[in-house]
Amino acid sequence: MLFPRTEADRERRRIVVMCLPYFVLATFGAFAPLAMLARMSVSESQFRNEGFSLAAWKVLVTDPVYREIAWNTLWFAAAATIFSVAIGVAISHALEKYSLPFERLLVALISFPIALPGIVVGFMIVVLLGRTGLLTNAVAFFTGGDPIDLATAMSVGGLFLGYAFSLIPRSTMVLRGTFAEINEDAEEAARALGASSLVTFYHVTLPQVWPGIVAALILTFRTALAVFGTVLVLPALNVATLRINLEIHDLGFNLATASAIGLLYFAFIFAFTLVGVKLIDNENLKI
């Protein structure tokens, strides 16, 4: 590898050199901490890594609270992902298909939530739908209702809106590139043969953008599982993703259980990513 003799060897060396900085960083930023998590998850002591115990893993398997955590996390992230990608498909189609006025401004407005931390998004939902929120008080003014009863920021609906606000820009940015590569001649041929806009989209456009939709679903779902900041501010489903925080700060500094949850989270994300990458690489992927 250090002294390549063939072009294939030189290519392998270039790949290693280009990837080496990332793996050096990942070794200290990811692999070493994961190894530490694995050790802490089987430690008998709450404060030091000593002894060996599977008590934390037994708790995760037998305690129904943790099954509720997993179920809430998965269904909520899946629902927010499907909704966000569906909206992203519509927005991307409109941006790439039509010549819109102020298109650059529209793209900037659509994409800016990507740069916002989840905590900021949560506060924005509170400002809009909280007890003192603008929309809450506007509805209360016109209906005569009580803002306390009308506030939905801390409900599942408010949390869902916060997730969608964060996820729609991500799915849209992924899908825009896919829609830009569409063969418009095929669409025009279908329309010329009498197909409606909806039929043309389903039979001509959708098969072309399906790999991009799958990629957007994978990226958005992974992001939805990691939006901890929004849940911190809008704790409608706090049991879903705040458990690690609760284990460390509010439930007696149970570091072993928190480490086990972190490892399970990593294992699930890693396996999900592998399946997703394999699915995207499948050239025969069709609907």
CATH number of residue 79's parent domain:
1.10.3720.10
Cα-based torsion angle of the residue sequence 199, 205, 208, 213 in order, rounded to the nearest 10 degrees: -100
The answer as to whether 169 is a domain residue is yes
Q: Could you identify the residue written with the tokens 């430690």? A: 43
Q: For residue 198, what are the domain limits?
A: 65-285
Q: How many helices, marked H, and strands, marked E, lie in the chain?
A: 16, 0
What domain count does the chain have? 1
- For 129-172, the three-class secondary structure string (H helix, E strand, C coil) is HCCCCHHHHHHHHHHCCCHHHHCCCCCHHHHHHHHHHHHHHHHH
Mean pLDDT, rounded, for 169-185: 88
pLDDT: which is higher, 39 or 228:
39
Does the reported pTM lie above 0.85? no
pLDDT band at 287 (very low <50, low <70, confident <90, very high): very low
Asked, for residue 44, whether it belongs to a domain, the answer is: no
Residue 7 lies in a domain: no
> Tens digit of pLDDT for each residue in 47-93?
778 888 898 898 888 888 888 888 888 899 999 999 999 999 999 99
Q: What is the mean pLDDT of residues 214-230?
A: 85
Asked, for residue 106, whether it belongs to a domain, the answer is: yes
Q: What does the alpha-carbon distance between residue 84 and residue 161 come to, in Å, rounded to a whole number?
A: 10
Q: Answer yes or no: is pLDDT of 168 > 90.
A: yes
Residues 92 and 84: their CA atoms lie apart, in Å, by 12
Residue 278, domain member (yes or no)? yes
Q: What is the mean pLDDT of residues 265-276?
A: 86
CA-wise closest residue to 269 among 219, 228, 231, 203: 219
Q: Could you give the angle at which helices 64-97 and 156-180 cross, rounded to 10 degrees?
A: 40
